[in-house]
């Protein structure tokens, strides 16, 4: 019967030794609405994506790490479960929690993408993402041209009008842009395609977002959007595909410009 003969460490709450008048200062801060384990997962996720922990690295044990973060073991464990669910880490008894090889990561998971873009994203990875987008979006436009309903067209038309009113320089304009692309995706009636494209689109928009926001665009994107709309409305799949391709290329150019500075 050894209850805790060897480990009667500093139970009770943190001594708050160095702290001053303010009460306990959690090592992990979270915005409102964000749960503690979510914040921890975010912290660890960004750290891993940033390369602070390399594949094969072993995280210090649950007790040690949760203590270092000043959170309970349960909260830390739940955070690790999230990372495990996304294929970033794997933990086994006696062996500890180790970072998995990059090939096991769910790189298309929205959260993982967000974590990747929280820091300086790997250029090669961004290039790959654009490549994927250039493959998927034109194909999506083609499908949309074949399957769109009247309501789809209406939503696109309205979004287009909103884009014209506000420009892409304003938040409202960018929202309308997203709405337009969402409408195109919805018109494909393909859930997998929708999810994929939405993730990539969001991630790609980070790249331009976190650089400076208002600047001269390479060229006015509205006409190109109209071309896409017209092709989809006409049910012309190949034309829609081509029009969307130029749109994607335009976005790529835009991002290239933004990342060059």
Partner DNA sequence: TTTCGGCAATTACTCGGACTTAAACTTTGC
Partner DNA sequence: GCAAAGTTTAAGTCCGAGTAATTGCCGAAA
Q: State the binding string over 68-107 for a second copy (x if CB under 8 A, else -).
A: ------x--xx--xx-xxxx--------------xx-xxx
What does the angle CA 215 – CA 216 – CA 221 come to, to the nearest 5 degrees? 120
Give the one entry of a second copy, DNA, none that residue 103 binds, where binding means its C-beta sits below a cut-off of 5 to 8 angstroms depending on kind. Answer: a second copy
State the residues that interact with DNA by CB under 7 A: 3-4, 11-13, 26, 32-33, 35-37, 59, 61-63, 70-75, 77-78, 80, 91-97
Show the tokens assigned to 45: 């996720």
Distance CA 196, CA 191 (A): 9
The helix, strand and coil proportions of the chain, stated in percent and rounded to the nearest 5, come to 60, 5, 35
CB nearer to a second copy: give 16 or 74. 74
Closest approach of Cβ 21 to a second copy, in Å?
29
**From the CB of residue 171, how many other CB atoms can be counted at a distance below 10 Å?**
10
Query: From the list a second copy, DNA, none, which binds 105 (C-beta under 5 to 8 Å, kind-based)?
Result: a second copy
215 vs 120, 126, 197, 208, 256, CA distance in Å?
21, 21, 26, 11, 14
Pull the structure tokens for residue 242. Answer: 């081509």
Residues that bind a second copy (CB under 8 A): 37, 41, 74, 77-78, 81-82, 84-87, 102-103, 105-111, 125, 128-129, 131-132, 135-136, 139, 143, 189-196, 200
């Amino acid at each position: 019967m050894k209850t805790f003969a060897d480990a009667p460490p500093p139970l009770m709450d943190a001594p708050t030794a160095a702290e001053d008048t303010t009460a306990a200062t959690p090592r992990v801060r979270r915005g409102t609405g964000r749960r503690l384990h979510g914040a921890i997962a975010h912290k660890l996720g960004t750290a891993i994506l940033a390369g602070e922990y390399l594949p094969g690295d072993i995280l210090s044990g649950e007790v040690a790490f949760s203590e270092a973060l000043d959170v309970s073991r349960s909260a830390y464990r739940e955070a690790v479960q999230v990372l495990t669910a996304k294929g970033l880490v794997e933990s086994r008894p006696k062996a500890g929690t180790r970072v998995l090889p990059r090939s096991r990561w769910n790189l298309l998971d929205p959260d993982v993408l967000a974590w990747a873009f929280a820091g300086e994203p790997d250029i090669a990875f961004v290039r790959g993402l654009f490549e994927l987008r250039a493959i998927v979006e034109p194909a999506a436009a083609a499908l949309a041209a074949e399957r769109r309903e009247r309501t789809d067209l209406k939503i696109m038309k309205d979004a287009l009008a909103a884009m014209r009113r506000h420009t892409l320089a304003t938040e409202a304009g960018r929202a309308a842009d997203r709405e337009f692309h969402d409408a195109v995706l919805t018109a494909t009636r393909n859930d997998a395609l929708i999810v994929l494209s939405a993730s990539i689109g969001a991630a790609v928009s980070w790249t331009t977002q976190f650089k400076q926001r208002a600047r001269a665009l390479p060229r006015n994107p509205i006409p190109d959007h109209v071309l896409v709309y017209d092709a989809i409305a006409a049910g012309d799949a190949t034309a829609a595909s081509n029009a969307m391709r130029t749109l994607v290329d335009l976005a790529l150019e835009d991002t290239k410009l933004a990342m060059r500075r």
